[in-house]
Structure 1
């Protein structure tokens, strides 16, 4: 089953310095029917003004992934980590027993747009940790490039404490990809740019998403080209 969530169905808030779109209940937005999808708890599409951001705040018992789409994002946390990331980089933080962090836009002129994703960990009580990884953007071309997974096979893939994999892809116009997973798992699909058709009949456009169950094989095609994120979930 492929359940489509159009871009305009997301919760939207504009705070001046922050424009945000929530795919799941978060902050001021609460819908008891839209809490999570498997262990996936949050997908926020955030646009932060120059020299603004989220000040120091605490987290516990959550795996937090930030993927920058445009601009630069600076991270600082109570374990002493500081890093700045742009497109081609991933930040992964395991909040575990408790961590305080901030995420800000260090640029005086350029807005930053990033996706923040939260996942429930497989086990509670983890020691807080942080890592920044970088990947070769060219490897996204007409391929599903893993950028976060439970058992990474290279230093270009971030490690997460949950049985999931986040893929990014740049699919050229007229090209197709096929993704296959084990029976009983879930797929979360998010179109960053462009358009796709799933299994020959479900059309998605920019910022549309789909929550997919009981569909272990997914054929992905694009008429005009697309950049997208696919998450293989338990």
Structure 2
């Protein structure tokens, strides 16, 4: 089954310094029927204005992924880590037993656009940790590039959950097929462009597909496309 959620059906809030779209219940948005998809708990599409951001705040028992689409994001945390996350870079933070962190737009003259993603961890009480890596467009070109995974994959960041996150930059007219074991879930977010899934469902920029009971999916680009695909364990 392929369920398409159009971009405009996401919860949207404009706080001035932050424009955000939530795919699942988060902050002031609550829908008891839209809390998670397997271990995927939060998927926020954020645009932060120059020099603004999220001040120091706590997290615990969550795996947090950030992917910068455009601009530069500045990270600081209570473990002493700090760094700049640029377009094409992915950050993984294990909140575990507890961590404080801040995320700011490093630029004073241009917005930063990034995805903030949370997964339930495989177990509670993990030791907090942080890492980041770069995945340039060339590495994503016409392929599914694993960038975060719960199983060892060369170059991918490690996560404490049975998921694999892929990124792809697919040329118009090209297609890819992803196959997975029975009983798993797939989640696809179209960052930019236009694609068709298995010859039936068309997605435009900002649309999402929640895929169940399918062992494979074909992704065809009707125009140049940039997307994220997740291979997820089911929590049932």
Which of the five TM-score ranges fits, normalised by the shorter chain?
over 0.9
Q: Which residue of 1 aligns with 2:89?
A: 89
Q: Is the 8 A contact 2:189 2:208 kept in 1?
A: yes
Moved more, 61-70 or 216-225: 216-225
For 2:152 and 2:51, locate their aligned partners in 1 and report how far apart those are by CA, in whole Å. Answer: 33
2:26 paired residue number: 26
Would the aligned equivalents of 1:168 and 1:229 in 2 still touch at CA under 8 Å?
yes
Does the CA contact (< 8 Å) of 2:88 and 2:135 recur in 1?
Answer: yes
User: Would you say 1:17 and 2:17 are equivalent positions?
Assistant: yes
Alignment partner of 1:13: what SS? strand
Under a length normalisation based on structure 2, what TM-score does the superposition of the two structures give? 0.97
Contact 1:64 1:93 in 2 (8 A): yes
The one-character-per-residue Cα deviations of 1:16-41 (angstroms, maximum 9, x if unpaired) are: 00000000000000000000000000
Structure-1 separation of matches of 2:219 and 2:137:
19
State how far apart, in whole Å, the 1-side matches of 2:210 and 2:231 are.
11
Task: Tell me how far apart the structure 2 counterparts of residues 12 and 163 of structure 1 sit (CA, whole Å).
Answer: 29
Structure 2 spans left out of the alignment, 5+ residues: none
Determine the structure 1 residue equivalent to 2:215: 216
Q: Distance in 2 between matches of 1:135 and 1:170?
A: 11
Q: Given that residues 70 and 87 in structure 1 are in contact (C-alpha distance below 8 angstroms), is that contact kept between their aligned partners in structure 2?
A: yes
The Cα offsets for residues 131-160 of structure 1, whole Å up to 9 and x where unpaired, read as: 111124202111000111112333x31110
Q: Distance in 2 between matches of 1:153 and 1:188?
A: 20
Partner of 2:227: 228
What residue in structure 2 maps to residue 197 of structure 1? Answer: 196
Verify the 8 A CA contact 2:146 2:153 in the aligned structure 1.
Answer: no
Report what 1:166 is aligned to. Answer: 165
State which drifts further: 130-139 or 41-50.
130-139
The residue number in structure 2 matching 1:186 is: 185
**Aligned length in residues:** 233
- For 1:17 and 1:222, the matched residues in 2 are separated by 33
Q: Does the 8 Å contact 1:135/1:157 carry over to 2?
A: no
Is the contact between residue 134 and residue 157 of structure 1 (CA under 8 Å) also seen in structure 2? no
How far off its partner does 1:225 sit? 1.8
Structure 1 counterpart of 2:106: 106
- The residue number in structure 2 matching 1:72 is 72
Comparing 45-54 with 84-93, which one deviates more in the overlay?
Answer: 84-93
Indicate conservation of the 8 Å contact 1:180/1:218, yes or no: yes
Asked if the contact 2:51/2:108 (under 8 Å) is kept, the reply is yes
Distance 2:43 2:189 in 1: 10
Structure 1 pair 88/152, CA: closer, same or farther in 2 (3 Å)?
Answer: farther
How far did residue 97 of structure 1 move?
0.5
TM-score scaled by length of structure 1: 0.98
